[in-house]
Structure 1
Amino acid sequence: MDDDAAVIYGLEFQARALTAQTAETDAIRFFVGTQSLRFDNQIHQIDFDDENNVINKNIFLHREGEIWDMKACTYDRNILATIYNTATSAKAEMRGMLWKVPEEFDTSLNDDNATVQSLQPLASLYSADHGDLKALMWHPSGDTQRLITLADNHILSWELDGPDARVSSATPLEGKGQPRFTTGAWNPHHNSSQIATANENAIRGWDLRSMKQTYCIESAHSQLVRGLDFNPNKQYYLASCGDDCKARFWDVRNCNEPVKVLADHSHWVWGVRYNNFHDQLVLTSSSDSRVILTNTSSISSEPFGHYDDEDEEEMCDKKEGLEDGVICTYEEHEDSVYAVEWSTADPWLFASLSYDGRLVINRVPRNIKYNILL
């Protein structure tokens, strides 16, 4: 079997929620959440055996409603958060819930005839005073149990105390026309004291200590901003993507113009993700049914690659071999690709999810991997 070949896993229902099991750094694991209107929804815990190119699965019920987003806990691999749509007597609402995942991956549940299990609910993240939940962010370092959610037009900070979760602070988003949040990302730098949020086509930075706005990119995209991600190695660099079919990269110290723009997709770009270790590798996913891996060395923490001495000629040679541009286009999907995530256990492997319930696991091409490592 070709080690570089994609591995495909099909879900029974439509899906758009994908997350890596963030606190698990030994096994390659992802969670996928379904979005069915007619049946009980499910959470699939995916374990990838990279030696045999085989997927194993555990399936858990999620009766609360359609799963729109998921985020694995950064400090405990056995905690998972979902954002879901549930119908009450009055209306449909977007709520959040924390779940307890079993301690060990149970391979016996991989049998298609095995009983689907239920997850243990830990705490509700719903606040009736602040409207629908739009996004959820765990503290990036995992050193604390702090959790932040974005409601319609409030940033909510939560305190987790055993089975209970309560709102400790709420900061409103002010502006004309009742602006509403769409997504957000927690900055892993500056002692994790900053976040970025998106509303319509604007991006805003916030200092969590004062809950004051630190910067604003008013027209970051010409249409709705769909995704944000901070560079893990360069503290002022932020990536965004949106309905203008582009991914843009920003130095938040000077927000007048993006430092780089990618325009390789032909429809809305839903996700942008920096590689967790090699920030020159960036993934984007789109409604054009494609996932694109791009080299952004010119704005990365390693613009010249790895080098052992200060020989200028050698540095120039290496720079010529690391030109920016599309590395690979992955076309295994046939529907909108709503999510893409890097593995936290293998820096050269990632998963993508399309609306038709197709999960695809792919790898960085070997020649690119060796070029970076050597």
Structure 2
Amino acid sequence: MEDDAPVIYGLEFQARALTAQTAETDAIRFLVGTQSLKFDNQIHIIDFDDENNIINKSVLLHQVGEIWHMSASPADKSVLTTCYNTTSDSRVATSAAVWRMPKEFESGTHESPDDSSNNPQALELLCHLDNAAQGNMACVLWEPMGDGKRLVSLADNHVALWDLEASSTKATVSSSATLEGKGQLKFTSGKWSPHHNCTQLATANDTAIRGWDLRSMSQIYCIENAHGQLARDLDFNPNKQYYLASCGDDCKVKFWDVRSIGEPVKTLEEHSHWVWSVRYNHSHDQLVLTGSSDSRVILSNMVSISSEPFGHLADEDDLSDGEDNHQEEKSKEPLQDSIIATYEEHEDSVYAVEWSCADPWLFASLSYDGRLVINRVPRALKYRILL
């Protein structure tokens, strides 16, 4: 078996919501949410067995509607949120809720009974993030590295900070803010910054990207025309606190230093259609994944704007003992940015890409036809980064 060979899993329903298991760092687990109009929707728990290169799946019922967004608690591996469509009086609304998986699904070690997909169990509803006043939920974001008790929701033009009770069965809004301006203002996505003691948030609406201070719920920066068309997704560099990546319907991926927002520090134009998803690798921030409705996933090596622009930094000890060591001179040139690989296993729009939280060299991508692909960073590059 080729080590870098992709592993493909097909759901029988359309899907666009994907999240990595964040509270668990030993097992490789992804969660996928379906969008079926005819049948009960499901959450597929995908456990990847790295040694044997196989997928074990379990299915949980999500009977309340099509899943548009999903995220896993950073503190409790059995808890997750979904944003889902509900239809009442022929009006479609998007709501959000916090759920718990049944006990036996918490770890990736359970033996999946063969009939689990025939009579799947339902998720346990912990609480609704009751948003009737705020409009349609675009996404719910957990506080990174938090204790799983603070969430942000983006709904239409409202951003709200929620506190969950210890049991997670009740959520209350502790503060909120409204997007002001002309026209129909609507958030498309957002990302909670892991830096600055988790006091900042970035949001995308229309072509703009905004930064928010969650303590005062006030805007701290606004990149007016970050993209030529709708901005779709954002991610923070995990190691450089002012760096942010964005992508959108102008087919571009842009990298920003939010201290100077006049121009992006870098722009990638490798995709030929809307870019739906951008993700920094959690450990090696030069590795950036993007997924697009051109059906491709692209892995880029953005070394020049990473936290190690000169490659592996030589230790003092390596340079000791009077060697003049020409290597030191040489390694001061920043390395070149490049496209590492383009993954072509999808035949439909790729709506989501996610890195595994347990294995920094492994990632999943999800296309609308329900195809989930697990891929690895090419071995040669992995060793170049590590050695």
The TM tier, using the shorter chain, reads over 0.9
- Separation in 1, partners of 2:26, 2:258: 34
Equivalent of 1:141, from 134, 139, 145? 145
| 1:130 counterpart residue number | 134
Equivalent of 2:202, from 173, 196, 200? 196
* SS in structure 2 at match of 1:182: strand
The range that moved more, 154-163 or 357-366, is: 154-163
Equivalent of 1:348, from 349, 361, 370? 361
- Structure 1's 321 and 302: CA in aligned 2 closer, same or farther, altered over 3 A? closer
Aligned ranges 1:307-318 → 2 under 5 Å: 307-309=313-315, 313-315=326-328, 317-318=330-331
**Equivalent position amino acid for 1:232 in 2:** P
* SS in structure 1 at match of 2:304: helix
| 1:216 counterpart residue number | 222
Kindly indicate whether the alpha-carbon contact (under 8 Å) linking 2:73 and 2:148 is maintained by their aligned counterparts in 1: no
Kindly indicate whether the alpha-carbon contact (under 8 Å) linking 1:109 and 1:115 is maintained by their aligned counterparts in 2: no
Kindly indicate whether the alpha-carbon contact (under 8 Å) linking 1:71 and 1:80 is maintained by their aligned counterparts in 2: yes
- Structure 1's 111 and 303: CA in aligned 2 closer, same or farther, altered over 3 A? farther
Kindly indicate whether the alpha-carbon contact (under 8 Å) linking 1:79 and 1:98 is maintained by their aligned counterparts in 2: yes
- Separation in 1, partners of 2:113, 2:218: 48
Kindly indicate whether the alpha-carbon contact (under 8 Å) linking 2:310 and 2:334 is maintained by their aligned counterparts in 1: no
| 2:124 counterpart residue number | 120
- Separation in 2, partners of 1:34, 1:43: 7
The range that moved more, 167-176 or 32-41, is: 167-176
Aligned ranges 1:52-91 → 2 under 5 Å: 52-89=52-89, 91=91
Among the aligned pairs, what percent are the same residue?
65
**TM-score normalized by structure 1?**
0.97
- Separation in 1, partners of 2:330, 2:59: 50
| 1:266 counterpart residue number | 272
| Aligned-residue offset at 1:114 | 5.0
- Separation in 2, partners of 1:302, 1:323: 12
* 1:334 aligns to 2:347 (yes or no): yes
- Separation in 2, partners of 1:368, 1:27: 23
- Separation in 2, partners of 1:204, 1:322: 31
- Separation in 2, partners of 1:248, 1:49: 34
* 1:369 aligns to 2:382 (yes or no): yes
- Separation in 1, partners of 2:164, 2:292: 35
| Aligned-residue offset at 1:139 | 0.3
* 1:282 aligns to 2:288 (yes or no): yes
Please list the CA deviations of residues 261-289 of structure 1 after superposition, one character each: whole Å capped at 9, or x if unmatched: 00000000000000000000000000000
| Structure 2 unmatched ranges of 5 or more | 320-324
- Separation in 1, partners of 2:230, 2:290: 16
Aligned ranges 1:43-58 → 2 under 5 Å: 43-58=43-58
**Equivalent position amino acid for 1:60 in 2:** L
* 1:303 aligns to 2:316 (yes or no): no
Kindly indicate whether the alpha-carbon contact (under 8 Å) linking 1:351 and 1:361 is maintained by their aligned counterparts in 2: yes
| Aligned-residue offset at 1:157 | 1.1
Kindly indicate whether the alpha-carbon contact (under 8 Å) linking 2:213 and 2:219 is maintained by their aligned counterparts in 1: yes
Kindly indicate whether the alpha-carbon contact (under 8 Å) linking 2:74 and 2:148 is maintained by their aligned counterparts in 1: no
| Aligned-residue offset at 1:319 | 6.5
- Separation in 1, partners of 2:240, 2:303: 12
Please report the RMSD computed on the Cα atoms of aligned residues, expressed in angstroms.
1.6
Instruction: Give the count of matched residue pairs.
Output: 374
| Aligned-residue offset at 1:108 | 2.5
* SS in structure 1 at match of 2:187: coil
Kindly indicate whether the alpha-carbon contact (under 8 Å) linking 2:28 and 2:49 is maintained by their aligned counterparts in 1: yes
* 1:108 aligns to 2:117 (yes or no): no
Kindly indicate whether the alpha-carbon contact (under 8 Å) linking 2:59 and 2:117 is maintained by their aligned counterparts in 1: no
* SS in structure 2 at match of 1:128: coil
Please list the CA deviations of residues 209-247 of structure 1 after superposition, one character each: whole Å capped at 9, or x if unmatched: 111110000000000000000000000000000000000
* SS in structure 2 at match of 1:323: coil
- Structure 1's 110 and 194: CA in aligned 2 closer, same or farther, altered over 3 A? farther
Kindly indicate whether the alpha-carbon contact (under 8 Å) linking 2:230 and 2:249 is maintained by their aligned counterparts in 1: yes
- Structure 1's 368 and 178: CA in aligned 2 closer, same or farther, altered over 3 A? same
* SS in structure 2 at match of 1:108: coil
- Structure 1's 31 and 369: CA in aligned 2 closer, same or farther, altered over 3 A? same
Equivalent of 1:247, from 249, 253, 256? 253
* SS in structure 1 at match of 2:137: coil
